[in-house]
Copies of this chain bind each other. A is one copy, B any other.
Amino acid sequence: MTEHPKQPVLPGGVTLDHLAAGIVDGDRTSLARGITLVESTRSDHRRLAAELLQILLPRSGQAVRVGISGVPGVGKSTTIEQFGSNLTAQGHKVAVLAVDPSSSRSGGSILGDKTRMARLSLDENAYVRPSPSGGTLGGVAAKTRETMLLCEAAGFDVVIIETVGTGQSETAVADMVDVFVVLMLPGAGDDLQGIKKGIIERADIIAVNKSDGANERRAREAASDLQAALRILQPVSDGWTTPVLCISGLADIGLDTLWQTISDHRATLRETSGFEARRSAQQVSWMWTMIDDRLRGELRKTPQRRERLRQLEEAVRDGARAPSAAVEDMLQMIGL
Contact = CB atoms under 8 A, between A and B. Distances in A.
Interface of A: 46-47, 49-51, 53-54, 56-57, 61, 142, 146, 149, 188-189, 192-198, 200-202, 225-226, 228-238, 279-280, 283-284, 286-288, 290-292, 294-296, 298-299, 312-313, 316-328, 330-331, 336
A327 to B, nearest CB: 5
A284 B238 CA distance: 34
Given A50-B325, A228-B229, A284-B317, A197 B201 contact: yes
Contacts of A322: 50, 53-54, 56-57, 149
Given A50-B322, A327-B290, A233 B236 contact: no
Given A232-B225, A328-B47, A336-B298, A193 B321 contact: no
**Tally of this chain's copies:** 2
Q: How would you classify the secondary structure of chain A's contact residues: helix, strand, loop or mixed? A: helix
Contact of A290 (B238, B291, B321, B323): B323
B287 A291 contact: no
A33 to B, nearest CB: 17
Nearest to A237: B193
6 contacts: A51-B325, A193-B236, A226-B233, A291-B299, A291-B331, A298-B336
Nearest to A149: B322
Contact of A234 (B46, B192, B194, B313): B192
B284 A313 contact: yes
A131 to B, nearest CB: 19
A189 B193 CA distance: 26
Contacts of A197: 201-202, 234-235, 238
Given A192-B233, A229-B229, A280 B321 contact: no
Contacts of A49: 324
Contacts of A290: 323-324, 327
Given A50-B328, A192-B232, 10 more contacts: A54-B324, A192-B237, A193-B235, A197-B238, A226-B232, A228-B229, A230-B233, A283-B317, A291-B299, A291-B330
Given A193-B235, A235-B192, A323-B286, A331 B57 contact: no
Nearest to A327: B290
A233 B327 contact: no
A226 B238 CA distance: 20
Contacts of A146: 324
A195 B237 CA distance: 8
Contact of A232 (B188, B280, B298, B328): B188
Contact of A50 (B284, B298, B324): B324
Contacts of A316: 283-284, 287
Nearest to A191: B235
